[in-house]
Amino acid sequence: MKAAIHYIRALLVAALATGAIASVVQTQLNLAELIRLGAPVTLSVRLWTTLEDLARFAPVMAGIAFLALSFAVLAGHWVLRFIPPSWRRLGFITASVCGLGFVFWLMRSVIPMPALPGTRTAVGHVLMSLTGIVGGWLYARLSAPSVMTARSSSRGGEWRQAGVVAVLIAAPAMLFFAMAPGTGDTPARVDSASYKVQTVATGLNRPWSVAFLPDGRVLVTEMQGRLLAIAADGASAQIKLDGLPPIFQQGGTAGLMEVALDPQFEHNGWLYLTMAYGEAGANGTRLVRATLANDRLDDVRVLFSSTLKPRAGNNGGRIAFLRDQTLVLALGDGSERREEAQNPANDLGTLVRIDREGHPPADNPFMGKTDVAPEIYSLGHRNVQGIAVDPTTGDLLITEHGARGGDEVNRIVPGANYGWPIVTGGIDYPFAKITPFTRLPGYQNALLEWTPSIAPAGLAIYDGPLFPQWQGDLLVPSLKERAVRRVVRNGQQIVGQQLLLGELDERMRDVKGAPDGSIYVLTDGVDAKLLRVMP
């Protein structure tokens, strides 16, 4: 028992020290990227950001280090049987560095989003792994036989060491919970007696988008590559996708996404689809146009293919038609190198504007500029998942996924920069700072921000006759909050929020206003539903 407590104490001290040093290293790597992008990182900003990460991220990193070092020290003790005692310290240091490096690699391989931003590059991965030197050295020193013998012989040593272990566990946990972001305010729910919900279809497999055909049927995309036409009675027909280019599909992360009809659909039959293309290590978002006739696609044409990215996440994929009938396509930052959202030479983390033949219009804001992709309409976006044109003003509005918080509603100004990842209200998934800045001159401020995240997955602006009190309000389906947010507006000013369909406790993927004024909602997942909301 005494020996076990001593070993656990040594391991905890090593993990806490490694977590603290790795936190400092990651913070400096992250700030270096922001400085490269032109962020005004002063010495005081650097110091405060480092301290904040030490309080909130270092305990998380210590937990990761504890896991890695546990396997490393077991390997080190096994190796001790084959090496001279003088090599003991070197053996634990080597095992700790290798253990951390392996765990970082494993996390990058199995977690869709970059789990630790400091390990995104080869240099960062090496530097973060080298923090194991301190952990290995401390464990070797504190678990040395001479130290163990001295502590075991001290009076009351066992209870004292148990108390030290308890403090080593409790202190970082308390610090983390003291610094962790709050739960936020939950808005009031719309009275469920004021509307009724009709289930139009069930058993949908990861549906993503809804569009309305003139014959009354509803088009629904499924991410694995199906396009369904669903009638009011729930009967569905599968649209034949002959001639469609190959779709890159990966679970609920990538696949067939948006479906939208051309503004002149009744005359030309044009339909637009977005989809992931490529492969796991090099994929992007593609926009195609086709003619829909007799429940099949003909004359399929690729209009746009985005810059390839090394991860399947953050694809964007929503489209909207402006009043001049050009279309805007949302593209995510690709999640691996979020700084690419500030690189105008590619189209990651941007909105792009093209005409219906796939060409950038002559009045695009960056047309004719060197080292800027001419199709870019705005930049500095993380992952736009909702896009709609205000029928009253013609304004283009978007909803955008943040990381852990920092979800946004934005009004798009052509040529403007929306700040990601230099400016955001969110933090990283492992609770580290993305940036110390929530606002900066030269970057557009959000109309509305949600922290903690609600995971907005779409956007509709209601303008139908069935809910006159909702005219002009935003409807935002949310995955994490498992409801549809009604963002109440007075003119263009946001004056309140309510929750719709929260009683269903379903992840919400898309929402669209139907021609008759009812509201269609897609739930998310492998057994999802198409719902119709009416008074």
Q: Would you say the C-alpha torsion 94, 108, 419, 438 has a positive or negative sign?
A: negative
**Cα distances (angstroms) measured from residue 385 to each of 149, 185, 316, 479, 514:** 61, 23, 6, 11, 19
Q: Which residue has the higher pLDDT, 172 or 453?
A: 453
What distance in Å separates the CA atoms of residue 225 and residue 223, rounded to the nearest whole number?
5
Q: Helix-strand-coil percent breakdown of the chain, rounded to 5? A: 30, 30, 40
Task: State residue 146's pLDDT score.
Answer: 66
Question: How many Cβ atoms are within 10 Å of 109's Cβ, its own excluded?
Answer: 8
pLDDT at position 449, please? 96
Domains and CATH numbers, the chain: 2-179 (no CATH), 210-454 (2.120.10.30)
- Distance set, CA 91 to CA 46, 125, 137, 139 (Å): 35, 21, 9, 11
161: pLDDT strictly greater than 70: no
pLDDT exceeds cutoff 60 at 425:
yes
pTM of the entire predicted model: 0.94
Give the angle subtended at the CA of 206 by the CAs of 378 and 456, to the nearest 5°: 40
- Residue 157 has a pLDDT of 59
pLDDT digits (tens, 9 = 90+) for 37-90: 999 999 999 999 999 999 999 999 999 999 999 999 999 889 888 888 889 899
Above 90 in pLDDT, residue 530?
A: yes
The answer, yes or no, to whether residue 148 has pLDDT greater than 70, is: no
Q: What is the pLDDT of residues 309-329, one digit of tens each?
A: 998 889 999 999 999 999 999
pLDDT at 445: 97
pLDDT tens for 461-482 read: 999 999 999 999 999 999 999 9
Question: To which H or E segment does residue 171 belong?
Answer: helix 157-179
- Where does the pLDDT of residue 147 fall: very low under 50, low under 70, confident under 90, or very high at 90 and above? low
pLDDT of residue 2: 60
